Amino acid sequence: MLKRVFSYAFLTIAAIISFFPFLWMIISSTNKSVDVTKGRLLPGSYFLENLSNLLETVDLVPALMNSAKISITTTILSLLIASLAGYGFEIYQSKAKDMVFNFLLLSMMIPFAALMVPLFRMFGSISQTAPFIGIDTFAAVILPTVTTAFLIFFFRQSTKMFPKDILEAGRIDGLTEIGCFFRIYVPTMKTTYSAAAIITFMASWNSYLWPLVVLQSPENQTIPLLISVLGSSYSPDFGVIMTAIVIATLPAAFIFFIMQKQFVAGMMGSVK
Amino acid sequence: MITVKTKQNIQPMHSTRSLRMKNTAIGWSFIAIATVLICLFYFYPMVQALIMSMQSGTGTNLTFVGLDNYARLLQDPTFLTTVKNTVIYLIIQVPIMIILALFISVLLNDKTLKLKGVFRTAIFLPCVTSLVAYSVIFKYLFGQDGIINIFLLKLSIISEPIQWLTDPFWAKVAIIVAITWRWTGYNMIFYLSALQNIDHSIYEAAKMDGASPFQIFFKITIPLLKPIILFTSITSTIGTLQLFDEVMNITQGGPGNATITISQYIYNLSFKYTPDFGYAATVSYAIVIMIVIFSIFQFKVAGDKNA
């Protein structure tokens, strides 16, 4: 009985601590900055005013559009590249390909902090010949992060469960190898694709360090960059900042709630 | 049947071989794009970084200096501070978070527990926030007039507001609390799914034999979860070694350099101070080496206890 009470008490406290910052963020977005600093914990009626102040002070909508463009492109390309590779490594398995696979996995050990400087210089020199994929372009944000060994690994693991016999059936029906991939594999692996899509989209939507390094002009700003700038201002308007964070967090939170299962499945993919 | 037989009979040897060759070529073409891109954006930059780490100078005017940068590294007080800070985060934050996550997942794994879904969702929710967004929120929560100080003062736990972000000690505490808040639920999900795979009869048998809950936890649950605990501690260690977003947005590495991390130092060396790409690359290699050492070390530790 005592154990019971302890369980509930501990979990309730943990849940409250986990949820409180969200609650504070949402409440603060409806209050005036002065009230936020006074520690007001009741919902106010200033949300619309905060929102219009926010839209006046920063380019919120362009930043949302930039983030959306980058994240959607990254997600589509990542899924295509990684699933082709994961499928290739598993279906056309050979000793040489397994060696390549293990070599690619080594890239998971490389921290991004170590890549940032050489990548910056690489895109700096590309800028001189091909400015459209050089520094301060979306292509420069997307290209280095679009292929991850983790996602290839994830697709390869999932392909192990894929019934290979139906590929044979497809070949007999006259499908080419690439046809088998697009007509049979992709439709069968919908759950794997949606798990991978969530993980990739979230990572891209929230990424900060590389865009900070490579995107220099204000009109290319993404949402995390915008929030970071707002958060470091000397005279912060708390209501406005919290409104921005609420808007930036909403897409991720929304996706999480409708696709919680796939999200967890995607996380688990790294353990298998 | 007949068609298959005739096909096999008709096709000459070299044709099957060329078919196999064709299939191999198709197989390689499936993995080509990914392989090229990973080589181009992971391995090639690492080679570049190795060359750069033996060069020095400002901006693009780099000259070869051999191992001078590595000698400088060992005497650089800022670098040593970043390593010290990172080690502090590692040895304090990672164990606290893992124990907390394990404990919560064991409580949640109770079959008779009500509101399980509510607790689980609430504790997992921090994982959906972007690192920048939650960092900014925590920066204000920990402000001098922030809600955390207001709470602690009202509950009379403290008599004066704590200088969370301007005191070297409390700033580290704030960073550790923030990271723990963000990642405990993430680790909990891994433990929960591993716990659900454990056969319940093992626990029944242990209870029959009169094992206490503590004994069950340390003698059964922990050993069975060892692979997943190892996995989460490696990912947490690697994550902590690369810490950037939080520190950049909560304390900006301050006060002084009290919370600065290695990643942030690399960023400062390349983009904040007068750019010294050569030395920044040298610091980068320090992180790579640390990640490799920690991974090997953690595998060894787990391997020994398994035997």
B279 at interface of A, judged by CB pairs closer than 8 A: no
Q: What percentage of chain B exceeds 70 in pLDDT?
A: 89
Q: What secondary structure does DSSP assign to A70-124, as a single string?
A: HHHHHHHHHHHHHHHHHHHHHHT--HHHHHHHHHHHHGGGS-HHHHHHHHHHHHH
pLDDT at B173: 94
pLDDT at B307: 37
Q: Count Cα atoms within 13 angstroms, Cβ side, for A139.
A: 10
**What part of B 92-151 touches A (C-beta under 8 Å)?**
103-104, 107-108, 110, 113, 118-119, 121-126, 128-141, 145, 147, 150
Which one of B108, B119, B133 has the shortest CB-CB distance to A249? B133
User: What confidence tens digit (pLDDT) does each residue in B133-183 have?
Assistant: 999 999 989 988 888 988 888 888 888 888 888 899 999 999 999 999 999
Nearest residue of B to residue A270, measured between CA atoms: B231
Nearest in space to B243 (alpha carbons), one of B258, B265, B228: B265
Contacts of B238 in chain A (CB under 8 A): 109, 111
The distance from CA B34 to its chain's CA centroid, rounded to whole angstroms, is 24
B273 at interface of A, judged by CB pairs closer than 8 A: no
pLDDT at A88: 93
Q: Count Cα atoms within 13 angstroms, Cβ side, for A166.
A: 14
Which one of A21, A104, A231 has the shortest CB-CB distance to B38? A104
Nearest in space to A145 (alpha carbons), one of A222, A63, A78: A78
**What part of A 145-184 touches B (C-beta under 8 Å)?**
146-147, 149, 152, 177-178, 181
- The greatest distance separating any two alpha carbons of chain A, rounded to the nearest whole angstrom, comes to 73
The Cα-based distances of A23 to A16, A40, B122 in angstroms read 10, 12, 11
Neighbouring residues of A111: CB distance < 8 A, sequence distance ≥ 6 = B238, B241, B242, B263, B284, B287, B288, B291
Tokens of A49: 């005013």
Contact A71, A205 (CB under 8 A): yes
Positive or negative, the Cα torsion across B112, B113, B114, B115?
Answer: negative
At B22, is the pLDDT very low, low, confident or very high (cuts 50, 70, 90)?
A: low
Contacts of A24 in chain B (CB under 8 A): 137, 141, 147
Which one of A19, A89, A97 has the shortest CB-CB distance to B125? A19
B295 at interface of A, judged by CB pairs closer than 8 A: yes
Domains along chain A?
2-268 (1.10.3720.10)
Which one of B134, B270, B285 has the shortest CB-CB distance to A120? B270
Low-confidence ranges of chain A (pLDDT < 70): 266, 269-272
Contact A9, B104 (CB under 8 A): no
The CA radius of gyration of chain B, in Å to the nearest whole number, is: 27
Task: Give the end-to-end CA distance of chain A in Å, rounded to a whole number.
Answer: 38
**What part of A 37-56 touches B (C-beta under 8 Å)?**
37, 39, 41
pLDDT at A62: 92
Judge: A21–B138 Cβ closer than 8 Å, yes or no.
Answer: yes
Contacts of B122 in chain A (CB under 8 A): 14-16, 18-19
CA distance linking residue A16 with residue A8, whole number of Å:
12
pLDDT at B89: 92
Contacts of A85 in chain B (CB under 8 A): 30-31, 33-35
Judge: B140–A238 Cβ closer than 8 Å, yes or no.
Answer: yes
Judge: A224–B133 Cβ closer than 8 Å, yes or no.
Answer: yes
Amino acid (1-letter code) at residue A59: D
Mean per-residue pLDDT over chain B, rounded: 84
Judge: B262–A113 Cβ closer than 8 Å, yes or no.
Answer: yes
Which one of A37, A117, A242 has the shortest CB-CB distance to B266? A117
Q: Count Cα atoms within 13 angstroms, Cβ side, for B183.
A: 24
Compute the average pLDDT of residues B47-56.
89
Nearest in space to B127 (alpha carbons), one of A145, A23, A268, A249: A249
Judge: B190–A271 Cβ closer than 8 Å, yes or no.
Answer: yes
A87 at interface of B, judged by CB pairs closer than 8 A: yes
Which one of A3, A11, A104 has the shortest CB-CB distance to B119? A11
Task: Give the end-to-end CA distance of chain B in Å, rounded to a whole number.
Answer: 54
Which one of A24, A37, A206 has the shortest CB-CB distance to B141? A24
Compute the average pLDDT of residues B6-23.
54
Q: Where are the alpha helices (DSSP H) in B219-276?
A: 222-241, 245-250, 262-267
DSSP-derived secondary structure letter, B114: S
pLDDT at B5: 42
A216 at interface of B, judged by CB pairs closer than 8 A: no
Which one of A85, A209, A248 has the shortest CB-CB distance to B31? A85
pLDDT at B27: 86
CA distance linking residue A236 with residue B249, whole number of Å:
14
The Cα-based distances of B55 to B42, B66, B276 in angstroms read 20, 7, 9
Complex ipTM: 0.88
Judge: B136–A109 Cβ closer than 8 Å, yes or no.
Answer: no
Answer yes or no: is pLDDT of B21 > 50: yes
Contact B34, A104 (CB under 8 A): yes
Domains along chain B?
13-64 (no CATH), 76-306 (1.10.3720.10)
Judge: A119–B41 Cβ closer than 8 Å, yes or no.
Answer: yes
